[in-house]
Chain A
Amino acid sequence: MALTAKGITKYYGPNRVLNQVDLEIRPGEFVALLGPSGSGKTSLLRIIAGLQFPEEGQILFDSTDITGLEAGKRQFGMVFQSYALFEHMTVADNVAFGLKVRGRHQRPSRSNIDARVRELLEMAGIGSLSDRFPGQLSGGQRQRVALSRALAIDPRLLLLDEPFSALDSKIRKDLRSALRNIQKEVGITAILVTHDQEEAFDLADRIAIMSDGKIEQFDTPETLLRHPKSEFVADFLDGIDSFQHQGAGI
């Protein structure tokens, strides 16, 4: 299930936030969009999600044009920076939501939904929390609920918008490896937006370095460190300790 973005250009009023962006993501790949704030990475993710629409360019999924398709019809799971949990629903109802709102003919039976929710919560390591409300959870637990909810719809693509930015560093590391394991286990293609280099290098198979509405370089972590194509990329990755990465990476 490959995703292709071709010549994506997006304006907010007079400001061009994305400028002719091309991106090709292979099936099963974990890609990070990495860049400083204002580089356009979140806009690109929201356009892929179908929450925003570009002025120019195309989004293709498995060579089908989905540029104008609304978010709900894309079947992409999204984890929001704020988690965006439904505060008035229990954890189980949050995760079940995407299945319950389906039309009568595509909706699984009640018992199937319950079983699927239990399975997802177990996988995320929060099986015991299903009757709690989001307000009663810690940040890390909320994040796991958000991930389970996104995975419940059997997404064709998993989109993650700064999913760890609100967590402290210890929990962040635990969740990172949990996310990586789940992604490989489910075999889903994933796109992560982050401004944290360590996070991107830790998780991603390939990283797209973004700056000023453009992708500066899109390569594996090793290639980025060894052969930065521009001064900007070299500068931006200056702080990364390549040694440490090779130890922790794969």
Chain B
Amino acid sequence: MASSSVNQLLHPQIRSFHRRQRFKRTALILIAVAFALLVMGLPVVAIFARAFQEGLEIYWANIVEPDTVHAITLTVITAIIVLPINIVFGICAAWAITRFRFPGRRALITIIELPFSISPIVAGLCYLLIYGATALVGSWLDQWDIQLMFNLTGIVLVSLFVTCPFVARELIPLMEMAGVDQEEAALTLGASGWQTFWYITLPNIKWALLYGVILANARVIGEFGAVSVVSGNIRGETMTLPLQVQLLYDDYNPTGAFAAATVLTVIAVVTLFLRSVIEARHPHRH
């Protein structure tokens, strides 16, 4: 073979160098694959295996159990409220940061990123400290019978907090890079501010926007820590899906817990799929 005859011609030291390179390559690939399977792949398989252990009927009965259905509904409602607010805020923030120079601009960028570095449970406690019934703002609102914590409002508020960076973070670098030229061109051609946004800015950022929304969505649905602090854990009322999984598990109902967990897992897999589709169309991610 050509390659082996070339190999014969090579100096023995070079040949042994090539052998060592090949060995290192194989070893690295094996380690990476083994780690991925063991740490990420196996648990996912285990969730489904355990959920279906007692058969499809039992699995389905656990999914349609009223409390679990309620948890799924509550989680979806939360996402439906949080995501549009996130989109509007993300676009406004990215617009302000990339199109204007103002005092506190750097600080705004830092604040937007804050939820990434704060433990969600601490975030939940902060909200309780401010908006709880006995707390500063909470007790004042209590006079008008407005309660923010231990209900949907509280869950939505902390979900907004933990997901606030996702959209803005995707848009800022893209809008920075695109610059204002196209928007200015549209303005000189007679387009209104709204037309410029709708026909010029939005088409340029749509993939990044969708990418951010999908990441935020995955986070809203999966959030446990912050939500568990402010939800009050009222059975059948303020339990989101992740909280329901834990509740079922604590109730010695592992099949129910794993069945509910499969719903979360399916959402995660769909998110992963959508991400890779969008990444292919939104080259700036690479």
Q: With A86-B200, A87-B204, A88-B203 in contact, do A76 and B195 touch (Cβ < 8 Å)?
A: no
Tell me if B60 is interfacial: C-beta within 8 Å of chain A.
Answer: no
| Pairwise interchain contact B204-A72, C-beta atoms closer than 8 A | no
Tell me if A98 is interfacial: C-beta within 8 Å of chain B.
Answer: yes
Chain A residues, CB < 8 A from B186: 86, 97, 101
| Pairwise interchain contact B190-A78, C-beta atoms closer than 8 A | no
| Pairwise interchain contact A101-B195, C-beta atoms closer than 8 A | yes
| Pairwise interchain contact A71-B187, C-beta atoms closer than 8 A | yes
| Pairwise interchain contact A77-B188, C-beta atoms closer than 8 A | yes
| Pairwise interchain contact B185-A78, C-beta atoms closer than 8 A | yes
Contact residues of A: prevailing secondary structure: loop
Chain B, interface residues (CB within 8 Å), range: 10 to 19
- Partner of A82 from the list B181, B189, B190, B204 (CB cut-off 8 Å) is B181
Q: With A84-B181, A87-B204, A88-B204 in contact, do A101 and B191 touch (Cβ < 8 Å)?
A: yes
**A22 to B200 CA separation, bound complex (whole angstroms):** 35
| Pairwise interchain contact A84-B182, C-beta atoms closer than 8 A | yes
- Partner of A97 from the list B181, B191, B204 (CB cut-off 8 Å) is B191
| Pairwise interchain contact A102-B185, C-beta atoms closer than 8 A | no
Chain B residues, CB < 8 A from A78: 184-185, 188
- Partner of A72 from the list B182, B190, B199, B200 (CB cut-off 8 Å) is B190
Nearest chain A residue, comparing its CB with the CB of B204: A88
A contacts with B, residue count (CB < 8 A): 27
| Pairwise interchain contact B187-A70, C-beta atoms closer than 8 A | yes
Contact residues of B: prevailing secondary structure: helix
Chain A residues, CB < 8 A from B253: none
| Pairwise interchain contact A101-B192, C-beta atoms closer than 8 A | yes
Max chain A CB contacts within 10 Å: which of B181, B184, B189?
A: B189
- Determine how close the nearest CB of chain B comes to the CB of A69; give it in whole angstroms: 12
Nearest chain A residue, comparing its CB with the CB of B191: A101
- Partner of B190 from the list A49, A85, A88, A153 (CB cut-off 8 Å) is A153
> What total count of A-B pairs have CB within 8 Å?
66
| Pairwise interchain contact A71-B204, C-beta atoms closer than 8 A | no
| Pairwise interchain contact A153-B189, C-beta atoms closer than 8 A | yes
| Pairwise interchain contact A98-B181, C-beta atoms closer than 8 A | no
Chain A residues, CB < 8 A from B192: 72, 101
- Partner of B185 from the list A70, A74, A80 (CB cut-off 8 Å) is A80
**A82 to B182 CA separation, bound complex (whole angstroms):** 9
Tell me if A75 is interfacial: C-beta within 8 Å of chain B.
Answer: yes
- Partner of A71 from the list B179, B188, B195, B199 (CB cut-off 8 Å) is B188
Chain B residues, CB < 8 A from A73: 190
Tell me if A149 is interfacial: C-beta within 8 Å of chain B.
Answer: yes
Nearest chain B residue, comparing its CB with the CB of A72: B190
List residues 187-230 of chain B with CB under 8 A from any CB of chain A: 187-192, 195, 199-200, 203-204
- Partner of A101 from the list B179, B199, B204 (CB cut-off 8 Å) is B199
Nearest chain B residue, comparing its CB with the CB of A82: B181
Chain A residues, CB < 8 A from B189: 72, 77, 97-98, 101, 149-150, 152-153
| Pairwise interchain contact A75-B190, C-beta atoms closer than 8 A | yes
Tell me if A51 is interfacial: C-beta within 8 Å of chain B.
Answer: yes
- Determine how close the nearest CB of chain B comes to the CB of A20; give it in whole angstroms: 26
Chain B residues, CB < 8 A from A152: 189
Chain B residues, CB < 8 A from A49: 188
**A70 to B185 CA separation, bound complex (whole angstroms):** 13
Using a CB–CB cutoff of 8 Å, the interface residues on chain A facing chain B are 49-51, 70-78, 80, 82, 84-88, 97-98, 101-102, 149-150, 152-153
Known: A72-B190, A80-B185, A85-B185. 6 other contacts (CB 8 A): A51-B187, A76-B188, A78-B184, A84-B182, A150-B189, A153-B189
